[in-house]
Structure 1
């Protein structure tokens, strides 16, 4: 584990992380965990730079997703995109999400022990496919979550695959298995399973494959269980491309950061 003047970097139960401690270390602080995009920001370190939530009295621990960063498949960055181009659903989305489900409890337990973070409900943050991961974790009743905040999340997988077909001029070879995965990762359909209040932060300029499912989820959850915020002028990514390394916070990221800070200050005991 390495430490700078602020960030703590390490690996917990096999999961790379960047942890930002609360400014007041004398008071107990809750835990907020984030998962980055499969785009900019594309790593736990880049996510920590983009969404540091410095004004929030909490531990903000940014987790690296499987198949990315220190856990890139053979071929690194290019190898990852080769897997995605061959079958994004079965080569990337499903194994990535299943691995997070398997490793999350042990990683959180080790983080609490190593960083002396008290037990209690956590906050979850996810961007894009990291948002899809956060939504899946919200369907686990054994994980006590106080609130979640999702930035341009993959709320329904099938529309995102259709968008990739449009953008890259390809045809995705749907199979019975991949359709079953897309059905599982349809959180509008599964809205009743989500265990905590959800903030949806959506870029005004993002694709309809993101904006329309997010609006549908907000409608399904209702005003008591969700809030929908639109960031003017923001597209899907909110950090400098390719987003592997920390970079100065963009103007859009600053707006997202403020919304997340407000949301968790309201829903966590801070």
Structure 2
């Protein structure tokens, strides 16, 4: 059972892999034997330069730089995990979102996957195998109208795109799956909980409770840990999941209340 998951010799790209669930995924894939290249706008001082490329994936130029680095560093790719994403949109509902805000959300949450897949997936098809993971969000089915309308819409678009891609390339040996996290207890979410706690005069656990209530509650009573998301991704990219394609796996502690 020690080798239940073995990625020895696999070449993997993980975008947005310097913090949170992205960093946990990079660490786990490497632990399982994969050669991993990861990306972010800048390299943290704690991260070795080997296996990292600095690029802004919200731009076409940044995506090209990463695609070129995949060839130069890995010589091709077997696994792509599109982890990069996020939102900087202001609160205030749909009326607060102008064209600039909408474009920014699409540039970060949809187009990096589209642009990188356009280059990397044909290479996977040519070699007859590969796995692509698009990390979406439960916000695509559970948007928060005050602040996540554009983010949720971008993630919904990513999910629809992923499904279409899976139907096109799965018959050619390339699996495409989606992972849909809920609230993950990352460094950023810890800071948010601490800020909310300070504003409400409570402690960190009270701040977490505020966030959970805003989501309608989390039945298991806590957010997911980054390594728990990484565990799911590692299984899906492994040969243990060889017949899984075209579907979406929600990891949210039961947050989404519908079937």
- TM-score (structure 2 length as normaliser): 0.44
More helix by share: 2
More strand by share: 1
- Greater RCO, CA 8 A, separation 6+: 1
- TM-score (structure 1 length as normaliser): 0.42
Higher CA-based Rg = 2
